[in-house]
Structure 1
Amino acid sequence: MVKIENIELPDFPLLLAPMEDVSDPPFRAVCKTNGADLMYTEFISSEGLIRDAIKSRQKLDIFESERPVGIQIFGGDEEAMGLSAKIVDTVNPDLLDINFGCPVKKVVSKGAGAGVLKDIDLMVRLTKAVVNSTKLPVTVKTRLGWDDNTINIEEVAERLQDVGIKALAIHGRTRCQLYKGVADWTHIAKVKENPRIQIPIFGNGDIDSPEKALAYKNRYGVDGIMIGRAAIGYPWIFNEIKHFVKTGEHLPPPNIQQRVEVIKQHLHRSVEWKGPFAGINEMRRHYTNYLKGLPNIKEFRAKLVTLPEVAPIDEVLDEIVKHYDGFEFQRTPIQLIDYHEKCAV
């Protein structure tokens, strides 16, 4: 069992990474159903919360069925981070997470996200302000450092643990790498092996198959794995990894009926949460990922992204099931989504 203060997780838990414009309640729901052990909201601006920005407030929505769930905030001002932590307290998540890893320019330029990697003292002050302002367990997600010349994750882990965080998730890239190149987990292993570190350490970056998840578990000794891009359009990755770690055998890939069933669940929850207009429009970006691997799917997909109502979309999805009945999906490593303009810590 892995514990984050009073939160009990199974041995080697699988965490769904917080991803901007992806990790909303409908997406989290299908990941939870398919084996995610701990999930996080999209990251929320501390200043947006204080200003009562509608988009920021909506991201606070959590549901009992998805627990344990953490709310993630970001910012570069101690007072704003402390105040936003108090606001997060009011909706009673299971934990509060701080984003020190988002590499995109619009966040970094404000001295937030991975921008804080340039100033460890500020990172510590921001973390302490949050820890002192909430009754919730506080966790952090970050990267190895700003660039290859400033990899400082071992010092960061010790200092953040000293000011009270209860778990640390580390993406095995620097800020300057964005999502390019290969994630380097050797530095994550060094943090885990440090005798001073007593909190759970979760690894993140490039997990695209059950084989790799098990290999990284054994090689780097992390307490669990955080999965981001591989879950986009393929929430089955969580249960597939769990089964492989336990048995050494693969679950069969989801067939077309199972895939469409999850698409419908995602769509209907999206409409229920956001309303028909936004729910249908925002769901359109997910169809390509869910239906990847199907030959000659373009015509069906064109219908899915233009229809304005749920009922005819469901009809097209039923047509897809009939058309591809018996189609055998190939087992290959998941093609990680190009996520350069988003944030998946």
Structure 2
Amino acid sequence: MATDRNEHLHKVLKTHEINKLENLDKFIAKKNQVKNALNEKFSEDKASNCMDSGSYAKHTAINTKFDIDCCIPFRKREKDSDKGYSSLSDMFEDVYKYLKNEYTEEDDDIEKDDVRKQKVSIGLKFNIDGEEFEMDVVPGRERPSNNDYGNNNTDLSLHIHPPNRSKKEVDDGKTRIKTNIKKHLDLLSGSSRVHERKVAKLLKVWKTERKNQNGGKLIKSFMMELYTKEAFDQADEIPNGLWGKVKMVMNHIVDNITENDLVDPANSSNIVSDSMSDTAKSDTKSGMKKTIKDTDEDSDKIKEYFPINEEYDDEDDDSNSKASSVSVLSTSKFG
């Protein structure tokens, strides 16, 4: 009997729901602990309190590939009397040193070796009651001037850690990125973007499964979210059914990922697609083309490309409502 592709994708979403994670309340508590520690440590230099960011704050996270991000905005130091940082690299380094050398002394759930520099963030890996939890802290500095960060301007400059720069960034001598976390959070927010968030989550399931099966690097999650919004916004007609919507976005990615630049809506000069290698782009394109062809020809193939999370397959739909009160993240400008 043929598989109902739409029904299957609904089940994929249900079994990958983030609130099904048993220790989610403990992860949220740890996230808040880190944010509070950063707010206290950098109380004089920050432009605002830490704010939630990333896929969980955007409601596009899945439970098989999960972490929580936060961003701490700093003041821009322009004269000696200013608080904050004149150097982005100093800002990045100070946050890293604090988390590695001071914070780990106060928190038994993390070791110094589990604090690492990443491209624009500091990665933390906790062991909470035997379960691994990862968190990224993104230091950003207000722009363009001191005391500009507020209700009318939430632009930030991020430091790019040199060893993690892409070839294009190295060739261009790029050492910083302009971004706006608030604008990124708003991309797929609201009741009018429900279908886009569902598709973004399903694409993350696809990506996770492809990497598990084949390894290598594929499209970045943020790019999938941007492409999803772009595909929906440009479509003359939105298909019915989840598979039709997923296929529409995949076809949009296939048509664009190796041919056209993908621009950061928070910064027109930041070409997000430049952060991906040509190999990752071509592998993503060929993988999505094959997924569409195979699934259209044989509906059962959808189970291979979009697997159900068996760990939560038989749970009652309402069994995880307990998480709702503790897992709600504030996505306001100032955390």
TM-score (norm 2): 0.29
TM-score (norm 1): 0.29
